[in-house]
Amino acid sequence: MRKMVLVIAVLALAGCGEGKSVDAQKSQPAAAAAPAVASAPQWDLEVRGETTQAVSDLSGWLIEHAFVSNVVTENGKTRILVGPFSSKAEAEARQADLNAALARAKKMNIESLIVERPAAQ
């Protein structure tokens, strides 16, 4: 069942850029977009289990419960991030939703932390 959900999610995401022109994306000046990204910090939720759990199991559960996650490897460590969020308050609200979903599923060995996304350089 999880494999089917993952396949559907991948297919849905593959069609997201359908009908958009590449030229339209290139016409925007890069200098105008850069200050907007650098000026405001962004926030993520890091989701991790207290016990060793397969990344695919946890990310699959998140997808099944409408939490879009990213798997990131930094310094040899794999992290699962939900986000980014434009404000810490938005991240806290989503964290409350995630904690409620974890409680309903009786998954007590999973925690979520709000982390600030490092600025792009």
In order of their start, the domains of the chain are 1-6+41-121 (3.30.70)
CB-CB neighbours of 3 under 10 Å: 9
* 11-20, 27-36, 63-72, 110-119: the lowest-pLDDT one: 27-36
User: Given a cut of 60, is residue 24 above it in pLDDT?
Assistant: no
Distance between CA atoms of residues 15 and 31, nearest Å = 29
User: Given a cut of 70, is residue 12 above it in pLDDT?
Assistant: no
Higher pLDDT, 20 or 12: 12
What is the structure's pLDDT at 89? 92
What is the structure's pLDDT at 58? 87
Read off the tokens for 121: 């350089």
* HEC secondary structure over 18-59: CCCCHHHHHCCCHHHHHHHHHHCCEEEEEEEECCCCCHHHHH
| Among 89, 90, 81, 71, residue whose Cα is nearest residue 115 | 81
Give residue-wise pLDDT tens across range 26-72.
555 554 545 444 557 789 998 987 666 678 888 888 989 989 888 88
User: Given a cut of 70, is residue 4 above it in pLDDT?
Assistant: no
Determine the length of the chain. 121
pTM of the model: 0.60
